[in-house]
Structure 1
Amino acid sequence: MARHSRKFTPRQRTKRPLGASITSNAAPKTPHDKPVPHELGWLVKPPLSARLFQKSGLGRPLRGEDGITLSSMEILFCNWHRHLPLPSADWFEKEIENDSNLLAKAVIFDTARSGGEIVIPSSNITDYQLSSDIFALKWKRNQSQFNTEPVSHVRWYWTFETLDWTEIFMWAEEVEELNCKCDIFIIDEEMEVTMYRVSFIEPEGSQKIWTELSNDETELISRMWDSKITTSSGFHLPIIGNWPLNSIGVEHLSGINLRTEEGVWLEKKINGEEIETDSKLYDDLINRGLILRPGFKFGSRWRIYDDEVSKSHAPWLLQTVTDGPKTWENACLSIRLSEGVHKKWICAIQNNSKWRFMQVERWSPGKD
């Protein structure tokens, strides 16, 4: 079978060789001195140390002596982008034996800085409050880390790591209280990195809700419900008037077809009964004026509309925390599918008696 002809050029992947610069900036006429071991890391002396710290936010200044200390991750970054030689020919082999994640962290650090933002490892931070288990803080390109607040807190994970949505939620709330954004970098075994931005949203729609119905409208719905026919997927209500609650049901075969979850919710409303626990999330969303339709085709619980289905596409695909992806590989698939059909992927989590909606979207360095 003949191969399809390619009409595009594949993206060139960065190889990041050891001991060689990948920056287009010219090397200094006099080579930089090699970093030397120090109890706090790897020592870089002036004048290079001042430039790295002041301009690039790299390293930790030493008290009582000149210079900065760099982590092994920062050594690799400076080797690739600042013409800093490695400490020795076998340095990398020794360092990766001590930290099996060194290469992953160095690649993520390099990727995070590729858009021009200042990204500072959490181990170097002394003047800002850190959220739990973070990798770094990030500042915008046009900001200074010395006199402005960071724009985001950064975490990273391997693709194969188990995903704990509740823990991510708690971290995102912690970062939200610090008035920052949440960035997550995911790295695979090819050393390719994908970035995500996590945020909280409050979806709202334009549909009439139950409490806005008139007495005549609720009476009509009640009479139609009394005439219901149970089906395999829910209920069929013969039409005896204009259906006033457009947020639920689909008109088909001269009637209103309700899914089981819609019928269960509607019966509670008609009878003035308390909504059951399993229907609390549905009730919350419907009371926001939204329309919920099955998300089967998109691998989600619901696709959610903020306007009539005939007038707009669904802005969101929603999954519950219990049914959400269990690894970052699966999360990547869900989020990429959502964005491929121009929707945002959100995860619904109950915090005490309140529902919160955590949006996870693909991001890219330099976008802030």
Structure 2
Amino acid sequence: MSGKAICGNLVFNITGNRSAAHIFNKYSTGTLKGDLLILEPLEVVFLIWKRRIKAENPLFNEGSSLVKAILQEDEIPLWNAYRELRIAGYRVKRNGMDLRIREKSSSSPVFTVKTIRENFQLSFSDLYSWIENIVAAVDDDGGVTFYKLSEIDMEGSSSIQEIKERPVPVGKRSVVSDGSIPEWLGDSTTENFTILSELETRYINGFPPENPVEMVYHDLFNKKTIIRTGFKYGCNFRIYLNELSSHAEALVHVFDREEGWYAISRAVRVAGGVKKKMIFAGILESKIKYVEIKRMKSFVEDENRDDESDL
């Protein structure tokens, strides 16, 4: 005799003459109460999709009727992320508007997945609060891109060269003779002198920073990194941690207002394309913090993947 499952007021029959316990154990879904499987909405959609349950009321076997009956609009991206994680072989449980995931082994670590839509707006405070979590960004085509967030130390080890002369002001910029400042500073495309930007001029003259971008510049300079413009990559700075070489290790974008995830997605994609870390900097409680965001191509290597797609 086939088992039964319920979600709210909806009753489902388990297909294939299987018991509630079989579905509970094989798919790690629901809560087992005797011979009855208690499901959450995402689990219902998953098991309908897998053809493992059918609604007693045939109306709710229609996809549109089922979704309208059990999912709210803001839960649709959750379903997209839930489906992708289940296909990848993860155990997934809902926790409010987040997902909690781990591999099949009971000893494997648990990760929190924050699910957002492609047009999500956030502050640096929001971003920093997600450190060590995974972000699932769901686009309007239903595609899911996963990102890992980590706090990063931006300490460099470049040598500090003595500044031998004060810059000569040219408006808000300035000019110095070649060899009188660190060789990586400024525009030295003209022989015999170097033109400094506003940020470089203010730092060398000891002026206090006036805005978040300048605060981050001062902090990176004091951390012995080499800082060059990130204009070609659409960000504030490109960073060399040790010495000026042909390839910078990181790109830095300064959060000085709310940003859309579009901008973050674009920046991470560009950085990945040129094999650099993408770092987002911001100010929290008067302290400068750095968050690395990288795109996760997969959660597990193909040879270790426990794919449920053929179950």
1:125-151 Cα deviation digits (max 9, x unpaired): xxxxxxxxx41111135x31xx5541x
Determine if contact 1:43/1:70 at 8 Å carries over to the other structure.
Answer: no
Distance (Å, rounded) in 1 between the aligned partners of 2:39 and 2:186 = 61
Say if 2:198 is the partner of 1:260. Answer: yes
1:178-222 Cα deviation digits (max 9, x unpaired): xxx31111112211111111111112222124xxx6xxx3xxx24
- Pairwise CA distance, 1:156: 0.7
Determine if contact 2:21/2:35 at 8 Å carries over to the other structure.
Answer: no
Say if 2:231 is the partner of 1:296. Answer: yes
Say if 2:167 is the partner of 1:234. Answer: no
Return closer, same or farther for 1:54/1:364 CA change in 2, 3 Å cut-off. farther
Q: CA RMSD for the aligned pairs?
A: 3.0
Determine if contact 1:49/1:67 at 8 Å carries over to the other structure.
Answer: yes
Say if 2:221 is the partner of 1:306. Answer: no
Trace 1:216-227 onto structure 2 (pairs within 5 A): 217=162, 221-222=163-164, 224-225=165-166
In structure 1, the partner of 2:249 is 315
In structure 1, the partner of 2:54 is 85
In structure 1, the partner of 2:157 is 206
In structure 2, the partner of 1:248 is 185
Distance (Å, rounded) in 1 between the aligned partners of 2:293 and 2:172 = 31
Say if 2:103 is the partner of 1:170. Answer: no
Return closer, same or farther for 1:100/1:247 CA change in 2, 3 Å cut-off. same
Distance (Å, rounded) in 2 between the aligned partners of 1:148 and 1:70 = 24
Distance (Å, rounded) in 1 between the aligned partners of 2:24 and 2:4 = 17
Return closer, same or farther for 1:357/1:37 CA change in 2, 3 Å cut-off. closer
In structure 1, the partner of 2:282 is 349
Return closer, same or farther for 1:351/1:164 CA change in 2, 3 Å cut-off. closer
Determine if contact 1:160/1:328 at 8 Å carries over to the other structure.
Answer: yes
Return closer, same or farther for 1:229/1:192 CA change in 2, 3 Å cut-off. same
* Sequence identity percentage: 21
SS in 1 for 2:133: strand
Determine if contact 1:57/1:120 at 8 Å carries over to the other structure.
Answer: no
Determine if contact 2:7/2:39 at 8 Å carries over to the other structure.
Answer: no
In structure 1, the partner of 2:117 is 158
- Pairwise CA distance, 1:284: 1.1
In structure 2, the partner of 1:126 is none
1:92-149 Cα deviation digits (max 9, x unpaired): 43443352345432221011222222222115xxxxxxxxxx41111135x31xx554
Return closer, same or farther for 1:37/1:288 CA change in 2, 3 Å cut-off. closer
Trace 1:75-224 onto structure 2 (pairs within 5 A): 75-81=44-50, 83-91=52-60, 92-98=63-69, 99-122=72-95, 134-141=97-104, 143-144=105-106, 149-150=109-110, 152-172=111-131, 181-209=132-160, 217=162, 221-222=163-164, 224=165
1:312-334 Cα deviation digits (max 9, x unpaired): 4112111111257x322232222
Q: What stretches of structure 1 of length at least 5 have no aligned partner?
A: 1-29, 124-133, 173-180
Q: Which residue, out of 58, 62, 65, partners 2:29?
A: 58
Determine if contact 1:199/1:359 at 8 Å carries over to the other structure.
Answer: yes
In structure 1, the partner of 2:307 is none
Return closer, same or farther for 1:246/1:87 CA change in 2, 3 Å cut-off. farther
Match for 2:199: what amino acid?
E
Q: How many residues align?
A: 292
Q: Which has the higher strand share?
A: 2
Greater mean deviation of Cα atoms: 111-120 or 152-161: 111-120
Match for 2:232: what amino acid?
K
In structure 1, the partner of 2:219 is 284
SS in 1 for 2:122: coil
TM-score (norm 1): 0.69
1:57-99 Cα deviation digits (max 9, x unpaired): 321344xx44331112111212333633345432243443352
- Pairwise CA distance, 1:34: 5.6
Determine if contact 2:209/2:218 at 8 Å carries over to the other structure.
Answer: no
Determine if contact 1:208/1:247 at 8 Å carries over to the other structure.
Answer: no
In structure 1, the partner of 2:300 is 367
- Pairwise CA distance, 1:163: 2.8
1:8-58 Cα deviation digits (max 9, x unpaired): xxxxxxxxxxxxxxxxxxxxxx9x55634546x767789643344345432
- Pairwise CA distance, 1:247: 5.5
Determine if contact 2:125/2:284 at 8 Å carries over to the other structure.
Answer: no
Q: What stretches of structure 2 of length at least 5 have no aligned partner?
A: 302-311
SS in 1 for 2:275: coil
